[in-house]
A and B are shown apart, each in its own frame.
Chain A
Amino acid sequence: MDVLGLKDSFSRIASYGDEVPLFFYSDLFIKHPEVRDLFPISMKTQREHLIGALAQIVAQVDRLEDLTVFVQGLGRDHRKFGAVAEHYEAVGDSLLATLAHFAGDTWTPELGADWAAAYGLVASTMIEAAKEDEASRPAFWRGTVLSCEQRAFDITVLQVRPEPRLDFLPGQSVAIESPRRPRLWRYYSIANAPREDGTLDFHVRLIDGGAVSMALTYGQEPGGSLRLGPPIGVLTLEATSGRDILMVAGSTGLAPLKALIEQVAARPAPPSVRLFFCARAAEGLYDLPSLEKMAAEHQWLTVVPVVSSELRSRGESGSVTDVVMRAGNWSGHDAYLAGPSEMVRDTAARLTSAGTPRSQIHIEDFGWSEP
Protein backbone atom coordinates (compact mmCIF):
# COMPACT_ATOMS: atom_id res chain seq x y z
CA MET A 1 0.00 0.00 0.00
CA ASP A 2 1.35 3.42 -0.98
CA VAL A 3 0.96 5.24 2.33
CA LEU A 4 2.42 8.50 1.10
CA GLY A 5 0.13 8.40 -1.92
CA LEU A 6 -2.91 7.97 0.35
CA LYS A 7 -1.86 10.83 2.65
CA ASP A 8 -1.10 13.06 -0.31
CA SER A 9 -4.42 12.38 -2.05
CA PHE A 10 -6.34 12.85 1.23
CA SER A 11 -4.76 16.22 1.94
CA ARG A 12 -5.66 17.39 -1.56
CA ILE A 13 -9.23 16.09 -1.27
CA ALA A 14 -9.63 17.50 2.26
CA SER A 15 -8.89 20.98 0.92
CA TYR A 16 -12.44 20.99 -0.48
CA GLY A 17 -13.59 21.20 3.16
CA ASP A 18 -17.26 20.63 4.00
CA GLU A 19 -18.06 19.83 0.34
CA VAL A 20 -16.41 16.43 0.74
CA PRO A 21 -18.56 15.00 3.59
CA LEU A 22 -21.58 16.75 2.08
CA PHE A 23 -21.06 14.86 -1.18
CA PHE A 24 -20.37 11.64 0.72
CA TYR A 25 -23.58 11.67 2.76
CA SER A 26 -25.75 12.74 -0.19
CA ASP A 27 -24.25 9.98 -2.33
CA LEU A 28 -24.84 7.47 0.49
CA PHE A 29 -28.44 8.54 1.09
CA ILE A 30 -29.32 8.48 -2.61
CA LYS A 31 -27.93 4.98 -3.03
CA HIS A 32 -29.24 3.71 0.35
CA PRO A 33 -32.17 5.89 1.48
CA GLU A 34 -32.85 3.62 4.50
CA VAL A 35 -29.55 4.70 6.09
CA ARG A 36 -30.77 8.31 6.44
CA ASP A 37 -32.84 7.28 9.47
CA LEU A 38 -29.68 6.62 11.46
CA PHE A 39 -28.67 10.29 11.40
CA PRO A 40 -29.97 13.46 13.05
CA ILE A 41 -31.87 16.15 11.16
CA SER A 42 -28.97 18.53 11.08
CA MET A 43 -25.86 16.90 9.65
CA LYS A 44 -23.44 19.73 10.38
CA THR A 45 -21.74 18.14 13.40
CA GLN A 46 -21.89 14.75 11.72
CA ARG A 47 -19.90 16.01 8.75
CA GLU A 48 -17.25 17.45 11.06
CA HIS A 49 -17.00 14.12 12.87
CA LEU A 50 -16.58 12.23 9.60
CA ILE A 51 -13.74 14.44 8.38
CA GLY A 52 -12.16 14.36 11.85
CA ALA A 53 -12.24 10.56 11.96
CA LEU A 54 -10.92 10.23 8.40
CA ALA A 55 -8.10 12.67 9.14
CA GLN A 56 -7.15 10.72 12.24
CA ILE A 57 -7.22 7.40 10.37
CA VAL A 58 -5.11 8.76 7.51
CA ALA A 59 -2.66 10.38 9.95
CA GLN A 60 -2.14 7.06 11.72
CA VAL A 61 -2.32 4.78 8.70
CA ASP A 62 1.37 3.91 9.15
CA ARG A 63 1.06 3.43 12.95
CA LEU A 64 -1.26 0.46 12.90
CA GLU A 65 -1.26 -0.14 16.66
CA ASP A 66 -2.63 3.29 17.62
CA LEU A 67 -4.97 3.20 14.66
CA THR A 68 -6.44 -0.14 15.69
CA VAL A 69 -7.33 1.13 19.17
CA PHE A 70 -9.01 4.19 17.68
CA VAL A 71 -10.89 2.24 15.03
CA GLN A 72 -12.04 -0.45 17.48
CA GLY A 73 -13.46 2.31 19.67
CA LEU A 74 -15.25 3.76 16.66
CA GLY A 75 -16.72 0.36 15.86
CA ARG A 76 -18.06 -0.19 19.39
CA ASP A 77 -19.29 3.40 19.53
CA HIS A 78 -21.29 3.00 16.32
CA ARG A 79 -23.40 0.17 17.71
CA LYS A 80 -25.70 2.53 19.60
CA PHE A 81 -26.24 4.52 16.39
CA GLY A 82 -27.73 1.39 14.80
CA ALA A 83 -24.83 0.64 12.45
CA VAL A 84 -24.70 -2.99 11.27
CA ALA A 85 -22.21 -4.91 9.13
CA GLU A 86 -24.18 -4.35 5.89
CA HIS A 87 -23.89 -0.60 6.26
CA TYR A 88 -20.11 -0.77 6.02
CA GLU A 89 -20.17 -1.85 2.38
CA ALA A 90 -22.54 0.96 1.44
CA VAL A 91 -20.33 3.46 3.27
CA GLY A 92 -17.25 2.10 1.50
CA ASP A 93 -18.88 2.50 -1.93
CA SER A 94 -19.89 6.08 -1.24
CA LEU A 95 -16.53 6.91 0.30
CA LEU A 96 -14.66 5.71 -2.79
CA ALA A 97 -17.11 7.52 -5.08
CA THR A 98 -16.53 10.71 -3.07
CA LEU A 99 -12.76 10.40 -3.09
CA ALA A 100 -12.76 9.70 -6.85
CA HIS A 101 -15.05 12.64 -7.48
CA PHE A 102 -12.84 15.14 -5.68
CA ALA A 103 -9.56 13.63 -6.85
CA GLY A 104 -10.59 14.36 -10.46
CA ASP A 105 -8.08 13.07 -12.97
CA THR A 106 -5.44 12.52 -10.29
CA TRP A 107 -7.52 9.42 -9.45
CA THR A 108 -5.85 6.27 -10.75
CA PRO A 109 -6.91 2.64 -10.50
CA GLU A 110 -3.91 2.01 -8.20
CA LEU A 111 -4.93 4.85 -5.85
CA GLY A 112 -8.51 3.53 -5.89
CA ALA A 113 -7.27 0.05 -4.98
CA ASP A 114 -5.17 1.45 -2.11
CA TRP A 115 -8.11 3.40 -0.73
CA ALA A 116 -10.38 0.37 -1.05
CA ALA A 117 -7.81 -1.76 0.79
CA ALA A 118 -7.38 0.83 3.56
CA TYR A 119 -11.13 1.20 4.01
CA GLY A 120 -11.55 -2.57 3.99
CA LEU A 121 -9.08 -2.81 6.86
CA VAL A 122 -10.82 -0.09 8.86
CA ALA A 123 -14.28 -1.54 8.23
CA SER A 124 -13.33 -5.09 9.16
CA THR A 125 -11.64 -3.85 12.37
CA MET A 126 -14.77 -1.85 13.27
CA ILE A 127 -17.09 -4.75 12.48
CA GLU A 128 -14.89 -7.15 14.46
CA ALA A 129 -14.81 -4.85 17.52
CA ALA A 130 -18.58 -4.32 17.32
CA LYS A 131 -19.13 -8.08 17.12
CA GLU A 132 -16.94 -8.70 20.15
CA ASP A 133 -18.79 -5.99 22.04
CA GLU A 134 -22.12 -7.53 21.04
CA ALA A 135 -21.27 -10.68 22.96
CA SER A 136 -21.08 -8.86 26.27
CA ARG A 137 -23.67 -6.08 26.12
CA PRO A 138 -26.53 -4.56 24.14
CA ALA A 139 -26.03 -1.74 21.62
CA PHE A 140 -28.02 0.54 23.91
CA TRP A 141 -30.20 0.33 27.01
CA ARG A 142 -33.82 1.44 27.16
CA GLY A 143 -34.29 3.77 30.10
CA THR A 144 -37.56 4.69 31.81
CA VAL A 145 -37.64 7.98 33.67
CA LEU A 146 -38.90 7.28 37.19
CA SER A 147 -38.73 10.83 38.47
CA CYS A 148 -37.55 14.24 37.42
CA GLU A 149 -36.98 16.74 40.14
CA GLN A 150 -36.31 20.35 39.29
CA ARG A 151 -33.72 21.46 41.84
CA ALA A 152 -33.00 24.91 40.45
CA PHE A 153 -34.11 27.13 37.61
CA ASP A 154 -31.71 25.30 35.30
CA ILE A 155 -30.94 22.00 37.03
CA THR A 156 -33.03 18.84 37.00
CA VAL A 157 -32.21 15.53 38.65
CA LEU A 158 -33.50 12.51 36.72
CA GLN A 159 -33.84 9.01 38.05
CA VAL A 160 -33.82 6.39 35.32
CA ARG A 161 -34.32 2.64 35.29
CA PRO A 162 -32.31 0.99 32.50
CA GLU A 163 -33.42 -2.26 30.83
CA PRO A 164 -31.58 -4.60 31.11
CA ARG A 165 -29.38 -3.86 34.11
CA LEU A 166 -26.51 -1.53 33.23
CA ASP A 167 -23.20 -2.32 34.96
CA PHE A 168 -20.73 0.53 35.36
CA LEU A 169 -17.94 1.84 37.54
CA PRO A 170 -18.74 4.77 39.85
CA GLY A 171 -17.66 7.99 38.11
CA GLN A 172 -18.43 6.74 34.59
CA SER A 173 -20.80 8.34 32.08
CA VAL A 174 -23.26 7.19 29.45
CA ALA A 175 -24.49 8.87 26.29
CA ILE A 176 -28.20 9.71 26.43
CA GLU A 177 -30.65 10.17 23.56
CA SER A 178 -34.09 11.65 24.08
CA PRO A 179 -36.89 10.68 21.69
CA ARG A 180 -37.58 14.42 21.52
CA ARG A 181 -34.18 14.88 19.87
CA PRO A 182 -33.73 11.77 17.73
CA ARG A 183 -30.16 10.75 16.91
CA LEU A 184 -28.57 13.37 19.18
CA TRP A 185 -26.51 11.79 21.96
CA ARG A 186 -24.89 13.64 24.88
CA TYR A 187 -22.74 12.26 27.69
CA TYR A 188 -24.01 12.48 31.26
CA SER A 189 -22.28 11.14 34.37
CA ILE A 190 -24.11 8.65 36.53
CA ALA A 191 -24.50 10.35 39.93
CA ASN A 192 -24.60 7.25 42.08
CA ALA A 193 -22.68 4.06 42.78
CA PRO A 194 -24.37 0.90 41.43
CA ARG A 195 -27.61 0.17 43.31
CA GLU A 196 -29.39 -3.07 43.93
CA ASP A 197 -32.45 -1.92 41.97
CA GLY A 198 -30.20 -0.80 39.10
CA THR A 199 -31.59 2.76 38.95
CA LEU A 200 -29.36 5.63 37.80
CA ASP A 201 -29.36 9.31 38.77
CA PHE A 202 -28.42 12.04 36.31
CA HIS A 203 -27.85 15.71 37.10
CA VAL A 204 -28.84 17.68 34.01
CA ARG A 205 -28.06 21.35 33.61
CA LEU A 206 -29.98 23.36 31.03
CA ILE A 207 -27.47 24.76 28.56
CA ASP A 208 -28.59 27.91 26.76
CA GLY A 209 -29.63 26.76 23.31
CA GLY A 210 -28.57 23.17 24.13
CA ALA A 211 -30.68 20.81 22.07
CA VAL A 212 -30.56 17.76 24.34
CA SER A 213 -30.36 19.43 27.77
CA MET A 214 -33.58 21.33 27.01
CA ALA A 215 -35.37 18.08 26.20
CA LEU A 216 -34.02 16.43 29.37
CA THR A 217 -34.91 19.28 31.74
CA TYR A 218 -38.09 21.12 30.83
CA GLY A 219 -39.31 18.56 28.31
CA GLN A 220 -38.98 15.51 30.56
CA GLU A 221 -41.81 13.85 32.44
CA PRO A 222 -41.90 10.71 34.61
CA GLY A 223 -42.67 7.64 32.52
CA GLY A 224 -40.80 9.03 29.54
CA SER A 225 -38.28 6.84 27.78
CA LEU A 226 -34.65 7.48 26.92
CA ARG A 227 -31.88 5.50 25.30
CA LEU A 228 -28.57 5.03 27.08
CA GLY A 229 -25.24 4.08 25.52
CA PRO A 230 -22.58 1.92 27.16
CA PRO A 231 -20.71 3.35 30.18
CA ILE A 232 -17.40 5.05 29.43
CA GLY A 233 -14.93 7.31 31.18
CA VAL A 234 -11.80 7.15 33.29
CA LEU A 235 -12.81 9.32 36.28
CA THR A 236 -12.90 6.29 38.54
CA LEU A 237 -11.63 5.72 42.05
CA GLU A 238 -8.01 4.71 42.58
CA ALA A 239 -9.03 2.54 45.49
CA THR A 240 -5.65 1.21 46.55
CA SER A 241 -3.67 4.44 46.94
CA GLY A 242 -4.40 4.87 50.67
CA ARG A 243 -4.16 8.64 50.25
CA ASP A 244 -6.77 11.08 51.46
CA ILE A 245 -9.03 12.56 48.82
CA LEU A 246 -9.70 16.08 47.56
CA MET A 247 -12.75 16.56 45.36
CA VAL A 248 -13.65 19.73 43.49
CA ALA A 249 -17.07 19.82 41.81
CA GLY A 250 -18.33 22.70 39.67
CA SER A 251 -22.12 22.68 39.28
CA THR A 252 -23.33 19.34 37.84
CA GLY A 253 -19.72 18.16 37.81
CA LEU A 254 -20.83 16.96 41.21
CA ALA A 255 -22.53 13.93 39.65
CA PRO A 256 -19.50 11.63 39.09
CA LEU A 257 -17.91 12.75 42.39
CA LYS A 258 -21.07 11.89 44.32
CA ALA A 259 -20.91 8.41 42.81
CA LEU A 260 -17.29 8.14 44.02
CA ILE A 261 -18.26 9.29 47.53
CA GLU A 262 -20.91 6.56 47.64
CA GLN A 263 -18.27 4.07 46.56
CA VAL A 264 -15.86 5.30 49.27
CA ALA A 265 -18.65 5.02 51.86
CA ALA A 266 -18.99 1.32 51.14
CA ARG A 267 -15.35 0.66 51.99
CA PRO A 268 -14.36 -0.71 55.41
CA ALA A 269 -11.88 2.07 56.25
CA PRO A 270 -12.71 5.12 54.13
CA PRO A 271 -9.98 7.75 53.69
CA SER A 272 -10.75 11.32 54.60
CA VAL A 273 -12.65 13.05 51.77
CA ARG A 274 -12.96 16.81 51.41
CA LEU A 275 -15.44 17.95 48.78
CA PHE A 276 -15.59 21.53 47.50
CA PHE A 277 -18.95 22.02 45.82
CA CYS A 278 -18.96 25.16 43.72
CA ALA A 279 -21.66 27.14 41.93
CA ARG A 280 -22.10 30.62 40.56
CA ALA A 281 -24.91 31.40 43.02
CA ALA A 282 -26.17 29.77 46.21
CA GLU A 283 -29.17 28.48 44.29
CA GLY A 284 -26.83 26.45 42.08
CA LEU A 285 -25.77 24.34 45.08
CA TYR A 286 -28.69 22.14 44.08
CA ASP A 287 -27.66 19.01 46.00
CA LEU A 288 -26.35 20.56 49.21
CA PRO A 289 -29.00 19.10 51.59
CA SER A 290 -28.22 15.57 50.42
CA LEU A 291 -24.45 16.19 50.69
CA GLU A 292 -24.78 17.68 54.17
CA LYS A 293 -26.79 14.67 55.23
CA MET A 294 -24.01 12.39 53.98
CA ALA A 295 -21.42 14.52 55.77
CA ALA A 296 -23.42 14.22 58.99
CA GLU A 297 -23.51 10.42 58.63
CA HIS A 298 -19.86 9.99 57.72
CA GLN A 299 -17.14 11.45 59.86
CA TRP A 300 -14.55 11.12 57.10
CA LEU A 301 -16.51 13.39 54.73
CA THR A 302 -16.36 17.21 54.77
CA VAL A 303 -18.42 19.28 52.34
CA VAL A 304 -17.42 22.88 51.63
CA PRO A 305 -19.96 24.84 49.59
CA VAL A 306 -18.36 27.59 47.47
CA VAL A 307 -20.23 30.37 45.73
CA SER A 308 -18.26 32.28 43.14
CA SER A 309 -20.41 35.35 42.68
CA GLU A 310 -22.99 36.50 45.14
CA LEU A 311 -23.28 38.95 47.99
CA ARG A 312 -25.11 36.76 50.42
CA SER A 313 -24.16 33.14 50.47
CA ARG A 314 -24.14 30.13 52.69
CA GLY A 315 -20.55 29.18 52.16
CA GLU A 316 -17.16 30.45 51.13
CA SER A 317 -17.00 32.80 48.21
CA GLY A 318 -14.49 33.66 45.54
CA SER A 319 -12.93 31.68 42.72
CA VAL A 320 -13.22 28.01 43.56
CA THR A 321 -9.58 27.44 42.75
CA ASP A 322 -8.52 30.18 45.18
CA VAL A 323 -10.73 28.77 47.90
CA VAL A 324 -9.34 25.27 47.39
CA MET A 325 -5.73 26.44 47.38
CA ARG A 326 -6.24 28.55 50.50
CA ALA A 327 -7.80 25.63 52.32
CA GLY A 328 -4.73 23.46 52.65
CA ASN A 329 -1.78 21.59 51.29
CA TRP A 330 -3.01 18.97 48.84
CA SER A 331 0.28 17.51 47.66
CA GLY A 332 -0.34 14.22 49.49
CA HIS A 333 -3.94 13.86 48.27
CA ASP A 334 -5.63 12.14 45.37
CA ALA A 335 -7.57 14.88 43.59
CA TYR A 336 -10.79 14.27 41.62
CA LEU A 337 -12.00 17.25 39.57
CA ALA A 338 -15.19 17.61 37.53
CA GLY A 339 -17.15 20.56 36.18
CA PRO A 340 -16.72 23.37 33.65
CA SER A 341 -13.55 22.62 31.68
CA GLU A 342 -11.98 25.98 32.53
CA MET A 343 -12.41 25.36 36.26
CA VAL A 344 -11.01 21.83 35.94
CA ARG A 345 -8.03 23.02 33.91
CA ASP A 346 -7.21 25.90 36.29
CA THR A 347 -7.53 23.78 39.41
CA ALA A 348 -5.42 20.97 37.95
CA ALA A 349 -2.70 23.47 36.97
CA ARG A 350 -2.67 25.16 40.40
CA LEU A 351 -2.58 21.81 42.19
CA THR A 352 0.29 20.60 40.01
CA SER A 353 2.35 23.73 40.63
CA ALA A 354 1.62 23.41 44.36
CA GLY A 355 3.16 19.96 44.41
CA THR A 356 0.39 17.43 43.72
CA PRO A 357 1.84 14.94 41.21
CA ARG A 358 -0.09 14.87 37.91
CA SER A 359 -0.66 11.14 38.38
CA GLN A 360 -2.70 11.88 41.51
CA ILE A 361 -5.03 14.30 39.70
CA HIS A 362 -8.02 12.56 38.15
CA ILE A 363 -10.11 14.27 35.50
CA GLU A 364 -12.54 12.98 32.89
CA ASP A 365 -11.24 12.24 29.43
CA PHE A 366 -13.52 10.64 26.87
CA GLY A 367 -10.60 10.33 24.45
CA TRP A 368 -11.67 9.59 20.92
CA SER A 369 -15.30 9.06 21.79
CA GLU A 370 -17.73 11.56 20.37
CA PRO A 371 -21.39 11.05 21.16
Chain B
Amino acid sequence: MTVAWQQEEKRLTPDEVQAVTFPLSRIGRRGFDEDHVRAFLQEVEREIVTLLNEKVSLWNEVERLRRRIITGMKQPGNNDGVLFGREDAHVHAVRILSNAQLTADRYVADAQAYSHRLTEEARNRRDEILNEAQQHADLVLEEASTRAREAALATLNAPVPNQMEADRSALKAELAYLRTFGEVYRTHLRAYTEGMLRSITEWERSEARTIDQASSEIGGSYDLGR
Protein backbone atom coordinates (compact mmCIF):
# COMPACT_ATOMS: atom_id res chain seq x y z
CA MET B 1 0.00 0.00 0.00
CA THR B 2 2.98 2.32 0.30
CA VAL B 3 3.72 2.25 -3.40
CA ALA B 4 2.16 5.65 -3.92
CA TRP B 5 4.96 7.52 -2.20
CA GLN B 6 7.48 8.60 -4.72
CA GLN B 7 11.23 7.86 -4.72
CA GLU B 8 10.83 5.50 -1.81
CA GLU B 9 14.26 3.95 -2.39
CA LYS B 10 16.14 7.28 -2.09
CA ARG B 11 14.78 8.01 1.31
CA LEU B 12 16.41 7.38 4.69
CA THR B 13 15.34 4.11 6.26
CA PRO B 14 15.65 3.08 9.94
CA ASP B 15 18.16 0.40 8.85
CA GLU B 16 20.41 3.04 7.30
CA VAL B 17 20.24 5.08 10.48
CA GLN B 18 21.13 1.96 12.44
CA ALA B 19 24.07 1.10 10.16
CA VAL B 20 25.61 4.51 9.87
CA THR B 21 29.19 4.86 11.13
CA PHE B 22 31.23 7.92 11.80
CA PRO B 23 35.03 8.04 11.58
CA LEU B 24 36.66 8.51 14.97
CA SER B 25 38.19 11.87 15.64
CA ARG B 26 41.91 11.99 16.07
CA ILE B 27 43.21 11.62 19.62
CA GLY B 28 43.56 14.85 21.42
CA ARG B 29 40.95 16.61 19.16
CA ARG B 30 37.49 17.35 20.44
CA GLY B 31 34.59 15.11 19.13
CA PHE B 32 31.11 13.64 19.87
CA ASP B 33 30.83 11.12 22.58
CA GLU B 34 30.25 7.88 20.65
CA ASP B 35 27.66 6.55 23.16
CA HIS B 36 25.60 9.70 22.89
CA VAL B 37 25.66 9.53 19.11
CA ARG B 38 24.51 5.89 19.14
CA ALA B 39 21.71 6.61 21.61
CA PHE B 40 20.45 9.47 19.47
CA LEU B 41 20.55 7.36 16.32
CA GLN B 42 18.40 4.75 18.05
CA GLU B 43 15.87 7.42 18.85
CA VAL B 44 15.83 8.62 15.22
CA GLU B 45 15.33 5.02 14.05
CA ARG B 46 12.32 4.54 16.35
CA GLU B 47 10.84 7.80 15.18
CA ILE B 48 11.15 6.83 11.51
CA VAL B 49 9.50 3.45 12.18
CA THR B 50 6.60 5.16 13.91
CA LEU B 51 6.22 7.64 11.03
CA LEU B 52 6.24 4.89 8.44
CA ASN B 53 3.59 2.93 10.33
CA GLU B 54 1.46 6.02 10.65
CA LYS B 55 1.87 6.70 6.96
CA VAL B 56 0.69 3.20 6.02
CA SER B 57 -2.39 3.40 8.21
CA LEU B 58 -3.26 6.86 6.90
CA TRP B 59 -2.91 5.64 3.32
CA ASN B 60 -5.23 2.74 4.12
CA GLU B 61 -7.72 5.17 5.60
CA VAL B 62 -7.60 7.33 2.44
CA GLU B 63 -8.22 4.27 0.28
CA ARG B 64 -11.11 3.17 2.47
CA LEU B 65 -12.79 6.60 2.28
CA ARG B 66 -12.27 6.80 -1.48
CA ARG B 67 -13.90 3.40 -1.96
CA ARG B 68 -16.82 4.51 0.15
CA ILE B 69 -17.37 7.64 -1.94
CA ILE B 70 -17.22 5.68 -5.18
CA THR B 71 -19.78 3.15 -3.97
CA GLY B 72 -22.08 5.92 -2.78
CA MET B 73 -21.84 7.80 -6.05
CA LYS B 74 -22.62 4.95 -8.37
CA GLN B 75 -25.81 5.45 -10.36
CA PRO B 76 -28.53 2.91 -9.71
CA GLY B 77 -28.09 0.24 -12.35
CA ASN B 78 -24.80 1.69 -13.52
CA ASN B 79 -22.09 -0.43 -12.01
CA ASP B 80 -19.34 1.20 -14.00
CA GLY B 81 -19.83 4.83 -13.05
CA VAL B 82 -16.76 5.90 -11.12
CA LEU B 83 -17.06 9.47 -10.02
CA PHE B 84 -15.62 11.50 -7.24
CA GLY B 85 -14.30 14.87 -6.29
CA ARG B 86 -15.84 18.00 -7.73
CA GLU B 87 -17.88 16.02 -10.21
CA ASP B 88 -19.71 14.46 -7.30
CA ALA B 89 -21.02 17.81 -6.15
CA HIS B 90 -22.26 18.58 -9.66
CA VAL B 91 -24.00 15.23 -10.06
CA HIS B 92 -25.58 15.81 -6.66
CA ALA B 93 -26.84 19.20 -7.79
CA VAL B 94 -28.16 17.69 -11.02
CA ARG B 95 -30.02 15.07 -9.05
CA ILE B 96 -31.52 17.62 -6.67
CA LEU B 97 -32.69 19.82 -9.54
CA SER B 98 -34.05 16.78 -11.39
CA ASN B 99 -36.11 15.78 -8.37
CA ALA B 100 -37.44 19.32 -8.02
CA GLN B 101 -38.38 19.31 -11.72
CA LEU B 102 -40.16 15.97 -11.40
CA THR B 103 -42.11 17.32 -8.44
CA ALA B 104 -43.14 20.37 -10.46
CA ASP B 105 -44.13 18.11 -13.37
CA ARG B 106 -46.33 16.08 -11.03
CA TYR B 107 -48.04 19.20 -9.69
CA VAL B 108 -48.81 20.39 -13.21
CA ALA B 109 -50.01 16.93 -14.26
CA ASP B 110 -52.27 16.70 -11.20
CA ALA B 111 -53.73 20.14 -11.84
CA GLN B 112 -54.31 19.24 -15.47
CA ALA B 113 -55.98 15.94 -14.59
CA TYR B 114 -58.18 17.74 -12.06
CA SER B 115 -59.15 20.38 -14.63
CA HIS B 116 -59.86 17.60 -17.13
CA ARG B 117 -62.19 15.87 -14.70
CA LEU B 118 -63.99 19.09 -13.80
CA THR B 119 -64.64 20.16 -17.39
CA GLU B 120 -65.67 16.66 -18.35
CA GLU B 121 -68.14 16.46 -15.47
CA ALA B 122 -69.46 19.95 -16.17
CA ARG B 123 -69.93 19.06 -19.81
CA ASN B 124 -71.79 15.85 -19.03
CA ARG B 125 -73.96 17.51 -16.41
CA ARG B 126 -74.77 20.28 -18.84
CA ASP B 127 -75.75 17.77 -21.54
CA GLU B 128 -77.98 15.97 -19.04
CA ILE B 129 -79.71 19.20 -18.00
CA LEU B 130 -80.24 20.27 -21.58
CA ASN B 131 -81.58 16.83 -22.48
CA GLU B 132 -84.01 16.89 -19.58
CA ALA B 133 -85.11 20.36 -20.53
CA GLN B 134 -85.60 19.29 -24.12
CA GLN B 135 -87.73 16.32 -23.09
CA HIS B 136 -89.71 18.55 -20.77
CA ALA B 137 -90.28 21.06 -23.53
CA ASP B 138 -91.46 18.29 -25.85
CA LEU B 139 -93.97 17.14 -23.24
CA VAL B 140 -95.26 20.67 -22.69
CA LEU B 141 -95.66 21.22 -26.43
CA GLU B 142 -97.45 17.93 -26.86
CA GLU B 143 -99.81 18.68 -24.02
CA ALA B 144 -100.51 22.14 -25.40
CA SER B 145 -101.32 20.81 -28.84
CA THR B 146 -103.60 18.10 -27.37
CA ARG B 147 -105.48 20.72 -25.43
CA ALA B 148 -105.73 22.98 -28.44
CA ARG B 149 -107.15 20.09 -30.45
CA GLU B 150 -109.67 19.32 -27.72
CA ALA B 151 -110.66 22.94 -27.50
CA ALA B 152 -111.15 23.19 -31.25
CA LEU B 153 -113.27 20.06 -31.25
CA ALA B 154 -115.30 21.40 -28.34
CA THR B 155 -115.92 24.64 -30.23
CA LEU B 156 -117.05 22.80 -33.31
CA ASN B 157 -119.45 20.68 -31.34
CA ALA B 158 -120.78 23.47 -29.17
CA PRO B 159 -124.54 23.92 -29.91
CA VAL B 160 -125.62 26.80 -27.65
CA PRO B 161 -124.06 30.32 -27.93
CA ASN B 162 -124.16 30.76 -24.15
CA GLN B 163 -122.23 27.59 -23.65
CA MET B 164 -119.74 28.74 -26.35
CA GLU B 165 -119.19 32.00 -24.49
CA ALA B 166 -118.46 30.11 -21.32
CA ASP B 167 -116.14 27.75 -23.19
CA ARG B 168 -114.35 30.63 -24.84
CA SER B 169 -113.54 32.31 -21.54
CA ALA B 170 -112.44 28.96 -20.16
CA LEU B 171 -110.20 28.52 -23.20
CA LYS B 172 -108.79 32.02 -22.78
CA ALA B 173 -107.93 31.25 -19.19
CA GLU B 174 -106.35 28.01 -20.32
CA LEU B 175 -104.33 29.84 -22.97
CA ALA B 176 -103.18 32.48 -20.49
CA TYR B 177 -102.14 29.72 -18.14
CA LEU B 178 -100.20 27.95 -20.84
CA ARG B 179 -98.49 31.15 -21.89
CA THR B 180 -97.46 31.96 -18.33
CA PHE B 181 -96.33 28.41 -17.81
CA GLY B 182 -94.20 28.61 -20.92
CA GLU B 183 -92.66 31.90 -19.89
CA VAL B 184 -91.86 30.75 -16.36
CA TYR B 185 -90.34 27.61 -17.78
CA ARG B 186 -88.17 29.51 -20.24
CA THR B 187 -87.01 31.94 -17.58
CA HIS B 188 -86.00 29.09 -15.32
CA LEU B 189 -84.14 27.32 -18.07
CA ARG B 190 -82.32 30.50 -19.08
CA ALA B 191 -81.38 31.33 -15.49
CA TYR B 192 -80.10 27.82 -14.98
CA THR B 193 -77.99 27.82 -18.14
CA GLU B 194 -76.64 31.31 -17.50
CA GLY B 195 -75.80 30.36 -13.95
CA MET B 196 -73.79 27.44 -15.23
CA LEU B 197 -71.89 29.54 -17.74
CA ARG B 198 -71.21 32.17 -15.06
CA SER B 199 -69.77 29.63 -12.69
CA ILE B 200 -67.55 28.24 -15.42
CA THR B 201 -66.27 31.73 -16.24
CA GLU B 202 -65.81 32.46 -12.54
CA TRP B 203 -63.87 29.26 -12.15
CA GLU B 204 -61.55 30.15 -15.02
CA ARG B 205 -61.01 33.67 -13.55
CA SER B 206 -60.17 32.34 -10.14
CA GLU B 207 -57.83 29.86 -11.73
CA ALA B 208 -56.20 32.75 -13.59
CA ARG B 209 -55.86 34.72 -10.37
CA THR B 210 -54.27 31.81 -8.58
CA ILE B 211 -51.85 31.22 -11.42
CA ASP B 212 -50.94 34.93 -11.67
CA GLN B 213 -50.42 35.03 -7.92
CA ALA B 214 -48.35 31.88 -7.97
CA SER B 215 -46.28 33.15 -10.86
CA SER B 216 -45.55 36.46 -9.16
CA GLU B 217 -44.42 34.48 -6.11
CA ILE B 218 -42.18 32.26 -8.14
CA GLY B 219 -40.86 35.25 -10.01
CA GLY B 220 -38.36 35.05 -12.86
CA SER B 221 -39.37 31.74 -14.38
CA TYR B 222 -42.72 33.24 -15.46
CA ASP B 223 -41.43 36.38 -17.07
CA LEU B 224 -44.59 37.18 -19.04
CA GLY B 225 -43.16 40.23 -20.72
CA ARG B 226 -40.74 38.23 -22.82
The interface of chain A, by Cβ under 8 A from chain B, is 16, 22-23, 25-27, 29-30, 36-37, 41-44, 82, 101-102, 104-106, 153-154, 179-180, 182, 206, 208-209, 211, 214, 218-219, 311-312
Contact = CB atoms under 8 A, between A and B. Distances in A.
18 contacts: A25-B101, A26-B101, A36-B221, A37-B223, A41-B222, A43-B105, A44-B108, A44-B109, A104-B79, A104-B81, A105-B81, A105-B82, A206-B119, A208-B115, A209-B112, A209-B120, A211-B112, A311-B134
B92 to A, nearest CB: 10
Contacts of A22: 98, 101-102
Interface residues of B, number: 44
Interface string B28-65: 00000000000000000000000000000000000000
Contact of A218 (B117, B123, B204): B204
B221 to A, nearest CB: 6
Contact of B80 (A43, A82, A105, A312): A105
A182 B207 CA distance: 15
Nearest to A94: B94
B192 to A, nearest CB: 13
B94 A30 contact: yes
A43 B221 CA distance: 13
B134 A312 contact: yes
A30 B112 CA distance: 28
B95 to A, nearest CB: 8
A41 B94 contact: no
B173 interface: no
A23 B94 contact: yes
A23 B93 CA distance: 10
A335 B158 CA distance: 64
A244 B128 CA distance: 42
Contact of A102 (B78, B95, B98, B201): B78
Contacts, number: 92
Contacts of B91: 101
Contacts of B113: 209
Contact of A42 (B95, B97, B108, B211): B108
Contacts of B109: 42, 44
A30 B101 CA distance: 12
B226 A82 contact: yes
B210 to A, nearest CB: 11
Contacts of B201: 218
B126 A153 contact: yes
Contacts of A206: 119
A37 B94 contact: no
A209 B114 CA distance: 8
B179 interface: no
A209 B115 CA distance: 5
Given A41-B104, A154-B123, A209-B119, A214 B94 contact: no
Interface string B187-201: 000000000010011
B116 A30 contact: no
Contacts of B153: none
Given A25-B101, A153-B126, 19 more contacts: A22-B98, A26-B93, A29-B97, A30-B94, A37-B221, A41-B104, A42-B105, A43-B105, A101-B75, A101-B81, A101-B91, A104-B75, A104-B78, A104-B79, A154-B123, A208-B116, A208-B119, A209-B117, A211-B112
